[in-house]
Amino acid sequence: MQSKTTQTETQSTAALQRLLSGIDEMLGVASEMATASGKSWLAEQIEDTQFMFSRSIARESEVIDKLPASGTLAIPSQDPGQQAVNITPQMVVGDNMDAVVRTYLVASIQRKLRTAGPACAKLLVLLMSEADSYVASSVVRAHLRTNSHDDRVIKVYICRLRSELRLVGIRDAIVTGRKSYMFRKRYLAPMLTLLNEA
């Protein structure tokens, strides 16, 4: 009887999370539509609402959703006498990521998420390296070296990434804030596992 109750609660929680992420996604689309139609004041209001909503989802999801922390990505060794290097989630976050890991992650993302392209792959690696922290659009533009001061380019990249991630079973990994984006840390291990399957 206890296990049936737990199973029902788990199913209800999953349904609630899908509903909340759907609302979050609709707010993002509404913000993009308001921006495209020149109603920047409305877009800002929607983005503020979405930011608060996303923070609530993130807090709830931390309590509800626990994903494995054991995902790794193996970098094959160029030297036949050495073993492959396993990239762990801890090696990806913050200052722990070196140039070799960053380059390998970008290449792996491009192989696995075929329509994402190099700019999207670099963006995803940047967000992963700053997991659970919002990265401002200006920082993203500087990192990608885009000449445009228009955030719509970044929004297109984010939409592509979300679409590709959804296709491979990783939902709700990227959160939109006020002129910023965040990759949820709990998705690092599943992401590395996914890239290892490429």
The whole domain housing 189 covers 70-198
181 shares a domain with 160: yes
Q: Which of 41, 65, 89 is the last residue of a domain?
A: 65
The pTM is what?
0.61
CA separation for the pair 23, 54 (Å, rounded): 10
For range 133-157, the mean pLDDT: 84
80 shares a domain with 14: no
Residue 65: pLDDT over 50: no
122 shares a domain with 173: yes
77 shares a domain with 173: yes
195 shares a domain with 110: yes
Q: Which long-range contacts (CB under 8 A, 24 or more apart) does 91-99 make?
A: 92/128, 92/129, 92/131, 92/188, 92/192, 93/128, 93/129, 93/130, 93/131, 93/185, 93/188, 94/129, 94/130, 97/125, 97/129
For range 160-167, the mean pLDDT: 89
Q: Which of 37, 65, 93 is the last residue of a domain?
A: 65
84 shares a domain with 29: no
- pLDDT tens readout for residues 32-59: 777 777 777 777 777 777 666 666 666 5
- pLDDT tens readout for residues 100-140: 788 888 888 888 887 778 889 999 999 999 988 999 988 89
Q: What is the pLDDT of residue 55?
A: 63
Edge-to-edge, what's the strand order for the sheet holding 180-183? Answer: 135-136, 180-183, 174-177
At 137, which CATH number?
1.10.10.10
Helix, strand, or coil (residue 144) = helix
Residue 147: pLDDT over 80: no
53 shares a domain with 122: no
Q: Which of 16, 46, 65 is the last residue of a domain?
A: 65
For the chain, what is the domain count?
2
183 shares a domain with 117: yes
